[in-house]
A and B are shown apart, each in its own frame.
Chain A
Amino acid sequence: MTIGTAWLLPIGTDQLQRMEICDSVLGVLEQAEVAAYQTNHDRQLASLSRAAARIAASTIVEKAVLPHEWSFSRAPGGGRFLRAPEGLLMNVSIADNENFLVICMNNMTHGIGVDVESWQRPVGWRDTASRFFSAQEQSLIGHLSDEEGSDVFTMLWTGKEALAKASGKQLADLLELPLVESKQTNQQTLLLEGLIRDQWNIRWFDFGVDLVAICCDTTMSCALPTIVPIDCVKAINAKILEIALPRLGEIPSAGDAFWLVPAACLMANFQP
């Protein structure tokens, strides 16, 4: 059975200051990666993201696995894996910016990728598009106003980034891969329908100031998560708390650990 989950966590200063709780669930490799960051803020965010990924993984497995029991490793291309003591392997993809931390994972043999970018117009986006994007994409962007064009640029960029993470390839090698077709003439089409390119399914999620793209391999009939109506968020959070909290029992200060559960889980777990 394919299992997976996608979490979106608003990043707040309060959360980042609880790093010592995060560190207690991390493995040696993760701790080394966290320690390599130069600033406290980066170390805190890196620690939070890795700890949250472990907790997210613990919420979706049938047999209880405590967050600190997962074994973390990386693929040669940088892909992240969490392996349960009994061998279940989870592909993990993490993205963050100043507002959000997004974590996606599944247990497929193929990857999953996620990216989050601000809708704010990127510096030099037209130059970047004309240097790196496909002719189709350049043509599409070339016919759009600055506002529309930069939005499409952001969508294409996040889509390519998510695809790069899912496929384990370098982003620079995928920038020329066209993500638009002739019928896709505006970002609304891209946003509403998502995209299937080769075996990859890419979907975009608009969170107001930021855009999230998630890419998943379709050859194993893996479904992408959908945005949950805001009315359902509380129910989902309650369910996550119900599952996650008992599994935090061996973590020091576990009573404070509930803050790691998404404050606003905008995407549902997916189990096709």
Chain B
Amino acid sequence: MSLKKLLADVLRVYEQNITVDTSTKTLKAWNSSRHVELIMAIEKCYQIRFTTAEIVSLQSFRQIKEMLIKRDIVV
């Protein structure tokens, strides 16, 4: 599953609403409870584990994508 599709599914929005600029400040559906749900879904999908500091810092699609790339994950 693509990262974009994963975000769309967890945030319950259309996939076209997810862009590189999508963030907690541009989408109300990306609230705190969905954020934790999203983090856990990403961890499960890509078999990784984020630290608390990382969970706090990952506030946009771009940041998540860059974090995954840093961990050599192809998204």
Does A122 have its Cβ within 8 Å of any Cβ on chain B?
yes
6 smallest A-B Cβ distances: which pairs? A42-B28, A172-B56, A170-B56, A38-B26, A172-B55, A172-B52
Does B63 have its Cβ within 8 Å of any Cβ on chain A?
no
> B residues within 8 Å of A by Cβ?
17, 19, 22, 25-28, 31-33, 36-37, 40, 52, 55-56
> A residues within 8 Å of B by Cβ?
33, 36-39, 41-42, 45-46, 96-97, 117, 122-124, 127-128, 131-132, 157, 161, 164, 170-173
Q: Do the beta carbons of B22 and A122 come within 8 Å of each other?
A: no
CB-defined A-B contacts under 8 Å, sample of 9:
A37-B25, A37-B26, A37-B27, A38-B22, A42-B27, A42-B28, A45-B28, A122-B33, A127-B40
Q: Give the shortest distance, in Å, between A173 (CB) and chain B (any CB).
A: 7
Residues of A within 8 A of B17 (CB): 38-39
Known: A37-B28, A96-B28. A123 touches B56 (CB 8 A): no
Dominant secondary structure at the B interface: helix
Q: Do the beta carbons of A131 and B40 come within 8 Å of each other?
A: yes
B10 nearest CB neighbor, chain A only: A123
Known: A38-B17, A122-B33. A46 touches B28 (CB 8 A): yes
Further contacts, 18 of them, CB under 8 A, given A46-B28, A157-B33, A172-B55: A33-B25, A38-B26, A38-B27, A39-B17, A41-B28, A42-B27, A45-B28, A122-B37, A124-B37, A128-B37, A128-B40, A161-B32, A164-B32, A171-B32, A172-B52, A172-B56, A173-B52, A173-B56
Residues of A within 8 A of B56 (CB): 170, 172-173
Residues of A within 8 A of B52 (CB): 172-173
B13 nearest CB neighbor, chain A only: A39
Residues of A within 8 A of B19 (CB): 38
Q: Do the beta carbons of A36 and B37 come within 8 Å of each other?
A: no
Q: Give the shortest distance, in Å, between B14 (CB) and chain A (any CB).
A: 10
Residues of B within 8 A of A170 (CB): 56
Q: Do the beta carbons of A124 and B40 come within 8 Å of each other?
A: yes
A173 nearest CB neighbor, chain B only: B52
Interface centre among A39, A41, A122 (most CB of B within 10 A): A39
Q: Do the beta carbons of A117 and B40 come within 8 Å of each other?
A: no
B55 nearest CB neighbor, chain A only: A172
When chains A and B are docked, how far (Å) is the Cα of A40 from the Cα of B35? 22
Residues of B within 8 A of A46 (CB): 28
A161 nearest CB neighbor, chain B only: B32
Residues of A within 8 A of B33 (CB): 117, 122, 157, 161
Residues of A within 8 A of B26 (CB): 36-38, 42
When chains A and B are docked, how far (Å) is the Cα of A41 from the Cα of B29? 11
When chains A and B are docked, how far (Å) is the Cα of A161 from the Cα of B36? 12
Q: Give the shortest distance, in Å, between A134 (CB) and chain B (any CB).
A: 14
Residues of B within 8 A of A117 (CB): 33
When chains A and B are docked, how far (Å) is the Cα of A172 from the Cα of B27? 19
Residues of B within 8 A of A96 (CB): 28
When chains A and B are docked, how far (Å) is the Cα of A122 from the Cα of B27? 19
Residues of A within 8 A of B31 (CB): 97
Residues of A within 8 A of B28 (CB): 37, 41-42, 45-46, 96
